[in-house]
Structure 1
Amino acid sequence: MRTLLVILGFLVAAPVFAGGQVDLATIQRTAASWLDQQLSQYQGQSSYVFGKLDSRLRLDACNAMDVKAAPGYRLAGNSMLRVTCVDGAMWAINLPVKISVQATYYVAAKPLAAGHELVDGDLAPQQGDLGQLPGSVILDPSSALGRTLSAAVAAGAAVRAEMLRAPIIIQQGQKVRVLIRVGDIEVSNDGYAMNNASEGQNVRVRVGTSTIVQGIARPDGSVQVTE
């Protein structure tokens, strides 16, 4: 059940402008509708409280508004929404909002060492307010399993995205298959990797005695080169 907390004093004080102007309460209702939709992705309870807008604002009438998180903000904790008129006038304002989102995030189920590859049983679900947590906490365990920890994590500590790196699928000196695409034609050859690489990373490959090519590591351990 979603709890919508709105500052009643703001609703009472927000003036309604006649003569081709938009009232501030309409802006707030539009933002609330958008925010409800965005927060519906979370299974836990969420609530928010809008901050006050300056009642002296005079904004021309608007037929349609676009709402999004203001640059540099996330939809948790003390945040800011950017409301822009996209039909009927040219204005944009920032609407402050404090958001509480109770959601499931994942912590280390036991002490985990740096360099450990995460497997089933390493992570445990935890409930908490995302506004009180780093924005990079893991919400989907499938995005972490199979990845390697760059730092040790204590039991019960949140696992964060910046702690994880994709597994190395190509080792320096490894023999690899090189796929070279020129237009609609693809040819393949064997070579030797000159650096380690995870999926999607750049890897340099020596083909023959002196030819060096650079491509992208593919999930199967081959290297894709596009000419």
Structure 2
Amino acid sequence: MRKLFLSLYTVCGALSVHTQAAPMPSTHATITQEVNDWLNTALSNSPGAYSFEVRPIDHRLKLDGCNQREISLPPGNRLVGNTMLRVKCVDGASWGFNLPVKISIQVQYAVAARPLAANQELNASDIAMQQGDLGALSGSVILDPASIIGRALNSPVAAGQTLRHEQLRAAMAITQNQKVKIVFRQDGIEISNEGIAMNAAAEGQPVRVRLDKGKIITGTAQQGGIVDVGQ
């Protein structure tokens, strides 16, 4: 009986080894479907309607069985236009490859509705919206026109030209030589005075102010020609 028990134990042990799950086949079709699923999830919150084209995996590429694959966007790549995804086996084999992908995202973006001058502050009538593929546009295009109302242009822009974030700056809250109100606040007490701004400044930027007797102080520019010098 003891010998029979040992024999059965040996057979069962051998069976248990041979019945362990082998790595699942890494077929090109399976990987392509996983890439499609990954892209649909990653692009689900895109700013516009999206579509993509996954380049066929090279049929000469032999991929060993893999239980789990990882898909990611390599550093330096954007999830739009002609880009690349990294497919890597992380369980069952040791391989990885880059897969070219073309992604199109149709968006509405801001352009100049008319010729605009340098230093001009933008209002709603200065901006028109056009539709295009985000992959063919600069990464700094403006999709939300409300976000640039009141900002000023660094340089002239021709009618129909795309507006970009680097072309804009915060509008000047205070101009040079403007008469300003100086406000000092501390412990619930507010003291005000007047002076002349010695430099232009956007809201939140430092501005130097000359007082009546020639004394110069520095404060923070606020809208309405106000300079805060303490709180």
Q: TM-score range by the shorter chain?
A: 0.5 to 0.7
**1:60 Cα offset (Å):** 6.8
- Cα distance 1:76–1:20, how it changes in 2: closer, same or farther (>3 A)? closer
Determine the C-alpha separation between the residues in 2 that align with 1:199 and 1:59. 60
Percent identity between the two aligned chains: 42
- The residue number in structure 2 matching 1:18 is 23
Alignment of 1:5-84 (within 5 A): 18=23, 24-25=31-32, 27-39=34-46, 41-42=47-48, 45-51=49-55, 55-56=61-62, 61-62=67-68, 67=72, 70-81=74-85
Counterpart residue identity of residue 146, structure 1: G
Determine the C-alpha separation between the residues in 1 that align with 2:204 and 2:115. 29
- Cα distance 1:165–1:113, how it changes in 2: closer, same or farther (>3 A)? same
In the alignment, structure 1 segments of 5+ residues that lack a partner are: 1-16
Counterpart residue identity of residue 38, structure 2: A
Which of 126, 137, 140 is the matching residue for 2:141? 137
Determine the C-alpha separation between the residues in 1 that align with 2:125 and 2:82. 34
SS at match of 2:43: helix
Which of 84, 91, 103 is the matching residue for 1:99? 103
- Cα distance 1:200–1:52, how it changes in 2: closer, same or farther (>3 A)? farther
In the alignment, structure 2 segments of 5+ residues that lack a partner are: 1-21
- The residue number in structure 1 matching 2:205 is 201
Counterpart residue identity of residue 119, structure 1: N
Normalised TM-score (structure 1): 0.63
Determine the C-alpha separation between the residues in 1 that align with 2:230 and 2:74. 38
- Cα distance 1:117–1:210, how it changes in 2: closer, same or farther (>3 A)? closer
- The residue number in structure 1 matching 2:163 is 159
8 Å Cα contact 1:31-1:83 kept in structure 2: no
- Cα distance 1:213–1:121, how it changes in 2: closer, same or farther (>3 A)? closer
Counterpart residue identity of residue 147, structure 1: R
Superposed CA deviations along residues 150-176 of structure 1, whole A, max 9, x for unmatched, are: 222222221111111111012345535
8 Å Cα contact 1:179-1:222 kept in structure 2: no
User: RMSD of the alignment, in Å?
Assistant: 4.6
**1:47 Cα offset (Å):** 0.9
- The residue number in structure 1 matching 2:180 is 175
Normalised TM-score (structure 2): 0.62
Paired positions, count: 202
**1:57 Cα offset (Å):** 6.0
**1:94 Cα offset (Å):** 5.7
**1:126 Cα offset (Å):** 1.1
Determine the C-alpha separation between the residues in 2 that align with 1:48 and 1:203. 50
8 Å Cα contact 2:173-2:203 kept in structure 1: yes
SS at match of 2:35: helix
SS at match of 1:74: coil
Counterpart residue identity of residue 171, structure 1: T
